[in-house]
C-alpha cells in the first residue's frame, strides 16, 4: 500500500508546491520513498509515497516509467497474482528489472492495454499516463478496497488516496454537504453516496476505468460489473466451494517480502482466515503471529474476546505465535481526535478505535502486512440485527407464518429489534414524528432538519428495502465501503498494508450471486460460511451467536467520555447542525446510548476541519 496524487491543470502548469503539500499529507501511507513525474508540458504531475512490501529495493519505487513506451504509473495497493502474470508476460517476451507487482502492472499495460485489469486479482487505485497516446487513465479495484478521491473544478483535476491530499492539491475551500450530514446524524450512514461529506469531492467508483485527455475531457468508463443475483444458487453450493477458495485467497495474501501478521477475534470471520493460514505453514517465513484485542480493567470485560480467540487458534493453528493487546474501554478525547484525523470523515461508532489501537500494536513488532476478516459480514449477511427483521418482514409478506414463527423464536432476534425495524413500514409522516423523539434526533437543530426533509426521505427509503435488495446494496454502496475506509485508514496510519481474503473478487462474486434471503435464517446470518467452516472451526464459533465485532465495548461509553472541552468550546460550524445544550442533556440522561456518538463525532470532525486540513467555508 502507498499513497498517490495526480494534479492536472489547464491551461497553466500544475503547481509543484501544491503537489509537495499533497504528498506531505500522505507521508504516513508511504514512509519508505517518494517521487514525482511530470507530463503534458508540466500540466500533469504524478506523485507517490511508497510503503515497500514486494521488492523493497529502490528500483521498484514510483512513479515507475516504461523505458520502451514512456508510460508512467503511480499505484496504491497489491496485485496478489503478480507472479502468475509475470510468468505470462515473460512468455510474451517481457523483460523485468524488478520483482515488484508495480512493474507487472506497467508491462501488463504495455501488452494488454485496458484489458489488463480483468486479469488482476488484488486491490488497487492507480493512475497511468500512457506514453503513446498521452492520455491519463484512472482505475480502482472491483470492490473499491483502495481509496481514490477526485475533485474537478474549472481548469483543475486533483486525485489522491486521501481527502486531505485532494484538498492540499486543489487548494480549494471546504464545504460540508448538509444532506450527507443528515444521513450520518440520523442513521450513522457513511460512504454510501458517490460524493463525500465535502462538497465537490467524489470517489472514483469501484471498477472504474476513467480516461482523461490532455485537453481535460474525462470519459468515465468501467472495466468491471458484478453479476446479478442468481435465484438458482443455494447455500450448499457456495459452502462446498468456499474453503478451497479461502485457502487460495489467503495463500495469495501471504506473499510478502516483509514481516506480516493477522488479526484474530472470537468470531467466525478472522477464525476462518486463521484456519486457512494454518493450512499453509510453509508460507509463513515472515509471519509474526496473531493479534487479538481485549480490555484492561472491569469495564468491557463482557466484550473481551481474547480468550475465545486463543481457543480458536489452538484449534486451527496450534503453536503459531499469539499476542493479546489490551486497552481501556472508555477512550480519552485525545485518542478520539487522533482517530478522526486518521479517518478524515465521521465514523459510525467509537469501536473503530479498536482497530486503530490494534494496528498500532502490530506496527511496533515490525510487521507491515496484516491479514483480517474484513468484508465477511457484509458479503455473507452477518449482521443479524439488520437482516433477520427483514427476513421476518419477507416471511410475513408471503404469509409464511411457519418461517415467521421460527424467526421470532430465534435467539438471534428479539421482539424489540424486530419491532424497531418493522416500524419503518409506517407512513413517512408518522415516521418523522417517531424519529424526531429519538434522543440523537432531539439534539439536531430544527432549521437543519426542516431544510433536509428530502434527504430524510432517502434515509427512509433505504430502511424499507427488501432483504435481497438490501443485501446487494450493503455490499455495493452502504456498509462495505464504510468498512473498507475504516480498515484502510487505521492500517495506513501506522504504515501497514491491510489485506482481507474475503475481499478476493472470486469470493465476493460468489457471495453476491447468492440471494441474501438464503444467507440468513433462524440460526442467524452467514449460513454458507457456517456450513463451510463446520468441522474446521470450533463448534462454539460456528454455531454460536453473532459476536459484535472488534472493540464492541467502546460504543457504550459515549456518555462516560470526558467531553467537557469539546462541548464547552464547540466548532463554529456546529451551530448550524447541533443544539449543544440539548446534547449535554441527552448524554446525561442516556450515557450508554450508542447513537449519541453520532453528534459527538460530528463535532469532533468539524473541529478537525476547522483546525486541520484546510479552511472550512461556513
Residues classed as catalytic: 2
What is the spatial distance between Cα 385 and Cα 435, in angstroms, rounded to a whole number? Answer: 19
Among 476, 477, 500, 478, CA closest to 488: 500
What own/partner pairs with CB < 8 Å and gap ≥ 24 does 282-286 have?
283/251, 283/254, 283/255, 284/254, 284/320, 286/256, 286/257, 286/258, 286/259, 286/260
Residues linked to residue 369 through DSSP beta bridges, in sequence order = 260, 497
Exposed / middle / buried, residue 17 (Cβ in 10 Å: 0-12, 13-18, 19+): exposed
DSSP state of 475: I
Residue reference for cell 437482516: 387
Neighbours of 535 (CB within 10 A): 9
Cα distances (Å, whole numbers) of residue 146 to 1, 2, 166, 555: 9, 10, 15, 26
Q: Could you tell me the end-to-end alpha-carbon distance of the chain, in angstroms, rounded to an integer?
A: 35
Q: Does the bond joining 98 to the residue before it have cis omega, within 30 degrees of 0?
A: no
Q: Which residues pair with 36 in a beta bridge?
A: 47
Task: Report yes or no: 473 and 516 within 8 Å, Cβ to Cβ.
Answer: no
| SS3 (DSSP) at 224 | coil
- The pairing of strands 122-129 and 156-160 is unpaired
The side-by-side arrangement of strands in the sheet containing 201-203 is 33-39, 44-50, 2-9, 156-160, 149-153, 201-203
How far apart (Å, rounded) are the C-alpha atoms in residues 429 and 421?
A: 17
- Residue 411 assigned as binding residue: no
Gap between the Cα atoms of 119 and 101, Å rounded: 13
* Binding-site positions for L-glutamine: 101
* Binding-site positions: 101
Amino acid at each position: 500500500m502507498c499513497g498517490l496524487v495526480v494534479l492536472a491543470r489547464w491551461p497553466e502548469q500544475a503547481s509543484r508546491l501544491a503537489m509537495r503539500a499533497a504528498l506531505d499529507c500522505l507521508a504516513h501511507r508511504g514512509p519508505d520513498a517518494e517521487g514525482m513525474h511530470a507530463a503534458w508540458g508540466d500540466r500533469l504531475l504524478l506523485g507517490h509515497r511508497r510503503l515497500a512490501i514486494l521488492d523493497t529495493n529502490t528500483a521498484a519505487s514510483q512513479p515507475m516509467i516504461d523505458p520502451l513506451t514512456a508510460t508512467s504509473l503511480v499505484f496504491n495497493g497489491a496485485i496478489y497474482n503478480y507472479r502468475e502474470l509475470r510468468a505470462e508476460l515473460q512468455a510474451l517476451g517481457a523483460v523485468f528489472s524488478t520483482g515488484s507487482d508495480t512493474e507487472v502492472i506497467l508491462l501488463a499495460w504495455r501488452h494488454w492495454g485496458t484489458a489488463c485489469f480483468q486479469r488482476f486479482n488484488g486491490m488497487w487505485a492507480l493512475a497511468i499516463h500512457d506514453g503513446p497516446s498521452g492520455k491519463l487513465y484512472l482505475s480502482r479495484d472491483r470492490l473499491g478496497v483502495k481509496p481514490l478521491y477526485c475533485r474537478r473544478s474549472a481548469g483543475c483535476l486533483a486525485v489522491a488516496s486521501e481527502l486531505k491530499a485532494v484538498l492540499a492539491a486543489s487548494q480549494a475551500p471546504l464545504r460540508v454537504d448538509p444532506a450527507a450530514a443528515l444521513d450520518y446524524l440520523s442513521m450513522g450512514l457513511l460512504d454510501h453516496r458517490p460524493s463525500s461529506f465535502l462538497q465537490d469531492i467524489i470517489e472514483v467508483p469501484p471498477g472504474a476505468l476513467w480516461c482523461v485527455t490532455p485537453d481535460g475531457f474525462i470519459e468515465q468508463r468501467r472495466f468491471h460489473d458484478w453479476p446479478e443475483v442468481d435465484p438458482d444458487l443455494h447455500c450448499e453450493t457456495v459452502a462446498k466451494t468456499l474453503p478451497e477458495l479461502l485457502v487460495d485467497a489467503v495463500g495469495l495474501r501471504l506473499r510478502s517480502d516483509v514481516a506480516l501478521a493477522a488479526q484474530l477475534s472470537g468470531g467466525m470471520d478472522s477464525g476462518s482466515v486463521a484456519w486457512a493460514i494454518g493450512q499453509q505453514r510453509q508460507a509463513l517465513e515472515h509471519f509474526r503471529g496473531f493479534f487479538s484485542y481485549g480490555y484492561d480493567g472491569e469495564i468491557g470485560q463482557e466484550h473481551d474476546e481474547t480468550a475465545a480467540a486463543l481457543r480458536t487458534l489452538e484449534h486451527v493453528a496450534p503453536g503459531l505465535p499469539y499476542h493479546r493487546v489490551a486497552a481501556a474501554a472508555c477512550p480519552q478525547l485525545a485518542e478520539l481526535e487522533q482517530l478522526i484525523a486518521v479517518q478524515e470523515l465521521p465514523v459510525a461508532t467509537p469501536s473503530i478505535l479498536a482497530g486503530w489501537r490494534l494496528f498500532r500494536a502490530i506496527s511496533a513488532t515490525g510487521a507491515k502486512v496484516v491479514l483480517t476478516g474484513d468484508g465477511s459480514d457484509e458479503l455473507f449477511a452477518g449482521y443479524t440485527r439488520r437482516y433477520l427483521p427483514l427476513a421476518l418482514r419477507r416471511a410475513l409478506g408471503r404469509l409464511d407464518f411457519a418461517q415467521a414463527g421460527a424467526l421470532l423464536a430465534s435467539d438471534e432476534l428479539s421482539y424489540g429489534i424486530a419491532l424497531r425495524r418493522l416500524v419503518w413500514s409506517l407512513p413517512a409522516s408518522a415516521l418523522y414524528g417517531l424519529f424526531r423523539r429519538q434522543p440523537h434526533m432531539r439534539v439536531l437543530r430544527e432549521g437543519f432538519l426542516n431544510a433536509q426533509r428530502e434527504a430524510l426521505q432517502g434515509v427512509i427509503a433505504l430502511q424499507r428495502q427488501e432483504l435481497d435488495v438490501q443485501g446487494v446494496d450493503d455490499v455495493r454502496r452502504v456498509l462495505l465501503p464504510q468498512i473498507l475506509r475504516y480498515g484502510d485508514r487505521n492500517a495506513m496510519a501506522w504504515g501497514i498494508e491491510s489485506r482481507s481474503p474475503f475481499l478476493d473478487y472470486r469470493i465476493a462474486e460468489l457471495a453476491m450471486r447468492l440471494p441474501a434471503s438464503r444467507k440468513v435464517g433462524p440460526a442467524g446470518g452467514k449460513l454458507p460460511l457456517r456450513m463451510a467452516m463446520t468441522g474446521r472451526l470450533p463448534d462454539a464459533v460456528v454455531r454460536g451467536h453473532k459476536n459484535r465485532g472488534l472493540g464492541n465495548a467502546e460504543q457504550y461509553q459515549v456518555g462516560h467520555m470526558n467531553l467537557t472541552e469539546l462541548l464547552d468550546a464547540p466548532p463554529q460550524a456546529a451551530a448550524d447542525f447541533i443544539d449543544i445544550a440539548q446534547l449535554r442533556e441527552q448524554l446525561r440522561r442516556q450515557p450508554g446510548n450508542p447513537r449519541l456518538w453520532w453528534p459527538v463525532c460530528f463535532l469532533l470532525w468539524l473541529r478537525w476541519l476547522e483546525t486541520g486540513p484546510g479552511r472550512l467555508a461556513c
